[in-house]
Amino acid sequence: MPKKPFCLVAITMSDINKLFKRLTSDYAYTFILDDAFSWSASSDEIKHPNITDPEHIWSLLHEISHAELGHSDFDTDVALLVMEAAAWQHAATQVAPLYDVRISPDYIEDHLDTYRRWLHERSRCPRCSQNGMQTKTKIYSCLHCRFLWRTNEARLCELRRLKLQPERRSLV
């Protein structure tokens, strides 16, 4: 007899617990209690906080999707945004329907917006505040004033932009 599908409409904590147990049983990854949601390709681990509401289930489905899509490292910040969008798309269209779950499109866009803002801030020149472009991993160049800077990872901490060249006075 097939398992009863789950729907996240008027869902109870008991339903959330059952769905969480089903997900951890259906997928051969190591699920580890942590402060934030994340996927580690090197250890096949999905980290997550306590699963206490439907939005946590959506985020867990997103991390499962990273795993299912084989996402690992990325060289550019735009590549990370592309992976995030692909994982949300996969979660919403491939994984969630298997469990009779519908992920809110607004929730997905809100999460993608955090990466878009992150990308925008990293690309903002510390000298002239115009947007630059990434030239190497964590290295940016300003298209306006040709200034170079390095960024830290800053997905879960404060953004730091470190100057790679001294300030130069304009000849104009």
Return the SS3 of 140. Answer: strand
Is 13-121 CATH 1.10.10? yes
pLDDT score at 8: 47
DSSP 31: E
The model carries a pTM of 0.83
Which residue has better confidence, 40 or 73?
40
**Average predicted confidence (pLDDT) for the chain:** 88
- The answer to whether 96 and 105 are in contact (CB under 8 A) is no
pLDDT at 25 over 80: yes
- The residues spanned by each domain of the chain are 13-121, 123-163
pLDDT score at 12: 85
In tens, the pLDDT along 69-89 reads: 999 988 899 999 999 999 999
pLDDT score at 4: 43
User: Measured on CA atoms in the order 46, 47, 49, 50, is the torsion positive or negative?
Assistant: positive
Alpha-carbon gap, residue 162 to 134, rounded angstroms: 14
**60 Rama class: left (phi>0) / alpha (psi -120 to 50) / beta:** alpha
Confidence of residue 38 (pLDDT cuts 50, 70, 90): very high
Which residue has better confidence, 122 or 87?
87
- The answer to whether 82 and 69 are in contact (CB under 8 A) is no
